[in-house]
Structure 1
Amino acid sequence: MTEPRYRLGVLDGDGIGPEIVPAAVAVVDAALAAVGAAPVEWVELPLGRSAIDSHGTPVPDETLSALAETDGWLLGPHDSVSYPEPHRSRLNPSGTIRKHFDLYANIRPAKSFERGNAIVEGTDLVIARENTEGFYADRNTVAGTGEFMPTPDVAIAHGIITRKATERIARTAFELAMRRRKQVTIVHKANVLQLTTGLFRQVCRDVAEEYPEVTVNDFHIDAMTVHLLRRADRFDVLVTENMFGDILSDLAGEIAGSLGIAPSINNSDTQAMAQASHGSAPDIAGQNLANPVAMMLSSAMLLDWLGSKRNDEKLVRAAQLMEAAVAAAIHGGTATRDLGGSASTTEFTAAVIHAMRDQA
């Protein structure tokens, strides 16, 4: 039997996580087998509400230590708003892991599928979101948060932009563009936030000089929302700061068809975490109704990232096969409710694996 070459962590999370994460694992296993790649070793780790019950915390130290020994991991959604105090008021599990491993890049594609309920057909873009600073108070300080109240009637949040963080997300964006259609759009609000997002725009422009083959333009965040709604199919790679990227990626996911098909990875230079862009959907948890596409495609992104880093063509091929099989399943008429179909989570997963055999 072939020995596993990679170790990947599995964190089911809350809500629909225990349904969509195993679905993604099954599709990864099938894809690796189809391309003749060695299987991965799956390392199941506690996280979320079940970890609070078993370990007294949503992110146990043993989970963080084990993740450090893996090549990457799949993170299911969390439902931190339902956690008991004091856990509800603390940094959520995803944020804890991102901060611990300095996963500075959040890469969120938005790609429509034929017969996939898209608002703008032909959408195929990627948002490169800076993940460690900006206006999100849980990410922009070394200790504590960048949000405080000097009096009960005044609340203040710091918005922090640095050259170092902007340079690395800009390079990530331009490297993505070089593998795609060689277009980068910088999204900012430099007409109002002149120093902070003005610095972001300028640093991105500086990095652009290293990539003369890439066409570069820029838009204010408010104008960008309109452009996406009207002509999302004309954009390739968008690079932006943290909060703008969060908002735009949810919008782009819906424009492409549904947040249920919106994947993402969070990565540093050495580690990556596959994480669907949507939430835990507790209202449908345990009913076999959840759309697993985003988790499947996030897992494909992880394989592609790892394959590119390790020069492993089989992993890249497995990722491509997963994407093609998901598209084929939807095109063939199998879809969950959010995409206008009636398939269950397990039925859709079976359809993807079946389509994979035809694609391989």
Structure 2
Amino acid sequence: MDSFTQVLLGIATAEVIAGRQLKNKTFLYGAVLGTIPDLDVVVGMFMDPVSGVAIHRGLSHSLFFFVCLSPVLGWLIAKLERGKITLQRSIILAFFGLFTHVILDAFTSWGTQILWPLPDRFALKTIFVIDPLYSIPLLISLIYVYRTRLDLLRKKYVFRGLIISSCYLILASGIKLFALNKFENALKNQGINYTEIIVKPTAFNTILWNANIKTKEGYLLADYSLLDSKPISFTLYKNNEEAGKQINKSENFKKLVAISEGWHIVSRHKNSIYFNDLRFGLLNDNPDQPQFAFSYEFIEKSDGSFEVIEVPKAKRDGKLLLQKLWKRLQGN
């Protein structure tokens, strides 16, 4: 999830565990603990684009990291708040302040390597990385907590925010299953054979959903809104095998294949070769020259190796995408 939401969840977690002991200092410690796992983004800024993406939500989002770091952070909190909180409670605060960050991230499309160094990512794909309907209840509840001194009222407010936001996660999971059923029925009714399907929400909502479908011919992409009244339509995107052969020996290509978990196509536009991650949708609707939200350009150097750069996204692209999503969300 976005950093602001993770800060809110970190504060709420700290308040549940140590609100009676630390009062409003839970806002400081919760914000720090909710932010720490995402510091891998800062590390990635000093790496090449592919390696920077590869480490995101890896080691820093793992149980191994939390188990090793929690005693250190717990000792530091207990030292700073001597006499207010025990070492045991401080360690519990540190662990769950970190762990709830990962639990929330697991509901998104990118997922997390909770069991690092194992490569598998856990991704429920039920919520977009920014969703106001999850964040706002937490924000409102924490405003009340901050303005309140009575312990019972603080508990009441923070639990109310956590319950509402958690119920929204459950609701989103149910809506995803409903959307998945719609996609599967549409594929069956249209006689389309496929080997795998993933379904995930579009930006900022749980009304409009995307599906990626793997077939022998290539990948089908489709969307479904809860407000739709017409059948779902599918668009085929094929992999450019010739272009793929040119870059398939590159280490960066192998890394990107692992990152995309196989959900990718290679395309060529003019003299450039692109690796496109299919899981995060399109910026346009042109199957002949698709522009994906996450795309990497392979630039051949004089020695035959390839330099890889992430294709930049202009503000205009984001604005057009949001306009398209808003229109599509209202039904087909």
TM over 0.5: no
Could you say which structure has the higher helix fraction? 2
The higher radius of gyration belongs to: 2
* TM-score, with length taken from structure 2: 0.25
* TM-score, with length taken from structure 1: 0.24
